[in-house]
């Protein structure tokens, strides 16, 4: 990398405030989002960041000025055989090399200015929707560039499609429209992660992800009980007494169900594998029988009920 003072366009006597001011101005100017058509903008922006990381750290700046480290923060190994050859580092005094291994070693450097650097990057990148380098990482001076922002969306799924699994289209905040697979029985409120479908990095990193929350719509006929599904099936009085074959709704159509003789409104019939799920792992369909009397009443039924009350009464509550 070039001399960090040249990169930021400041003198070696520049104050911390002058260095920070120059960095802010250049970083905003060379942010890749500001120059989308300039292929060198990303490289220039990274160079500006690396220069500021070095000069904003007092220990590293001092080491660089003494010639102990280079512009990338790596140690310089000087030869002591020649005072003239060994004194070429910027700011070196003759053949004297004052390596300090206290607070700021040339083999690691202090972290005095790191937090401040990250805060400034966060401030600048926030204006463009970017992300700051992760703490403890290589930052802009090396390593993997920061990834893009994640985006969130919500998809409403009808109960039957949720129970059996389906494919639905969703529009993301980025404007992109995708078809996603909704797993059978996914818990309402859970999210489906779509890798790489979030916002681009803007700094050469991987794009973020899209997190799609699933909202299950209620159904007028069915209700879930774990992986089982419950449905109410109205039957006539004579079907309950004599037994019958009736058609009932399921999640994927209708089936014929045998109602045993003597069934009452407390009986629940079970259809195996007709509940939530797929591929042989589905729950069951629980059919709750409900005896329905004729609408508007029936004189013959009323007469029969009175006779039964008077001559053959029974107590179901005993």
What is the SS3 assignment for 257-290?
EEECCCCCCCCEEEECCCCCCCCCCCCCEEEEEE
Residues 182 and 232 in one domain: no
**Among 73, 15, 6, 86, CA closest to 44:** 6
Does residue 317 belong to any structural domain of this protein? no
DSSP reduced 3-state for 48: helix
Question: Is 316 within a domain?
Answer: no
Residues 47 and 124 in one domain: yes
Task: Please state, in angstroms and rounded to a whole number, the distance separating the CA atoms of residues 227 and 49.
Answer: 54
Residue 318 covered by a domain:
no
Mean pLDDT on 21-28: 88
Q: Verify that 16 and 135 share a domain, yes or no.
A: yes
Contact 91, 67 (CB under 8 A): yes
Which pLDDT belongs to residue 297? 85
What pLDDT does residue 74 have? 85
Using alpha carbons, list the distances in angstroms from residue 26 to 7, 47, 51, 91, 148. Answer: 9, 10, 11, 26, 22
Are both 106 and 71 inside the same structural domain? yes
Per the prediction, the chain carries an average pLDDT of 80
For 155-169, 201-215, 257-271, which range has the lowest pLDDT when averaged over its residues?
201-215
Q: Are 58 and 187 found together in one domain?
A: no
pLDDT digits (tens, 9 = 90+) for 165-194: 999 999 999 899 999 999 999 998 899 999
Give the least confident one: 18-27, 51-60, 109-118: 109-118
Give which of 2, 11, 12 is closest to 43, Cα–Cα.
2
Q: Which helix (H) or strand (E) holds 32?
A: none
Q: The domain that contains 246 carries what CATH number? A: 2.60.260.20
Does some domain include residue 280?
yes
Kindly state whether residue 59 falls inside one of the protein's structural domains.
yes
Select the more confidently predicted residue: 93 or 159: 159
Kindly tell me if the per-residue pLDDT of 232 is higher than 60: yes
End-of-domain residue from the set 178, 194, 216: 216
Q: Is the pLDDT of residue 99 over 50?
A: no
pLDDT at 52 over 60: yes
- In whole angstroms, give the CA distance from residue 260 to residue 116: 78
- What pLDDT is stored for residue 212 in this prediction? 96
315, with CB counted inside 10 A (0-12, 13-18, 19+), is exposed
Q: Could you give the CA distance from residue 230 to residue 283 in angstroms, rounded to a whole number?
A: 11
Which among 149, 137, 147, 134 is positioned nearest to 203, based on CA atoms? 147
Last residue of one domain, picked from the residues 141, 161, 186: 141
Distances (CA, A) of 173 to 126, 127, 230: 18, 18, 37
CATH code (residue 80):
1.10.287.110
Number of domains in the chain: 3
What pLDDT is attached to residue 31?
Answer: 82
Is residue 182 one of the residues assigned to a domain? yes
Please state whether beta strands 166-171 and 177-182 pair in parallel, antiparallel, or not at all (unpaired): antiparallel
| pLDDT value for 39 | 80
Pick the more confident residue, 137 or 286.
286
Q: Residue 244 pairs with which residues in a beta bridge? A: 259
Kindly give, in sequence order, each residue whose CB lies less than 8 Å from that of residue 285, ignoring residues fewer than 6 positions away. Answer: 228, 229, 230, 231, 250, 251, 270, 271, 274, 275
Residues 190, 227, single domain; the answer is: no
Residue 177 structural domain: 151-216
Domain stops at, among 216, 234, 268? 216
Average pLDDT over every residue of 286-304? 92
Same domain, 71 and 45: yes
């Amino acid at each position: 990398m070039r001399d960090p003072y040249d990169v930021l366009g400041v003198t070696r006597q520049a104050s911390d405030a002058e260095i920070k001011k120059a960095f802010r101005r250049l970083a905003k100017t060379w942010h890749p989002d500001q120059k989308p058509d300039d292929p060198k903008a990303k490289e220039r922006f990274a160079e500006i960041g690396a220069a500021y990381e070095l000069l904003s750290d007092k220990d590293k700046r001092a080491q660089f000025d003494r010639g102990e480290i280079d512009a990338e923060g790596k140690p310089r190994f000087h030869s002591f055989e020649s005072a003239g050859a060994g004194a070429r580092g910027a700011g070196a005094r003759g053949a004297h090399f004052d390596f300090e291994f206290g607070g700021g070693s040339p083999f690691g450097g202090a972290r005095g200015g790191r937090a401040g650097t990250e805060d400034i990057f966060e401030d600048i990148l926030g204006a463009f929707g970017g992300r700051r380098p992760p703490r403890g990482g290589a930052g802009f001076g090396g390593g993997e560039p920061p990834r893009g922002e994640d985006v969130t969306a919500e998809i409403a799924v009808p109960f039957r499609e949720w129970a059996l699994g389906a494919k639905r289209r969703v529009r993301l905040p980025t404007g992109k429209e995708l078809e996603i697979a909704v797993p059978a029985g996914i818990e309402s409120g859970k999210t489906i992660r779509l890798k790489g479908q979030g916002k681009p990095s803007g700094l050469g990193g991987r794009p973020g992800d899209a997190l799609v929350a699933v909202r299950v719509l209620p159904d007028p006929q069915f209700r879930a009980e774990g992986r089982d599904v419950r449905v109410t099936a109205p039957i006539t009085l004579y079907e309950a007494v004599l037994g019958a074959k009736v058609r009932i709704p399921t999640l994927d159509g209708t089936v014929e169900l045998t109602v045993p003789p003597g069934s009452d409104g407390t009986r629940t019939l079970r259809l195996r594998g007709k509940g939530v799920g797929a591929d042989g792992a589905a729950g069951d369909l629980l059919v709750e029988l409900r005896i329905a009397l004729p609408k508007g009443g029936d004189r013959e039924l009323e007469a029969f009920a009175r006779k039964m009350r008077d001559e053959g009464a029974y107590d179901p509550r005993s």
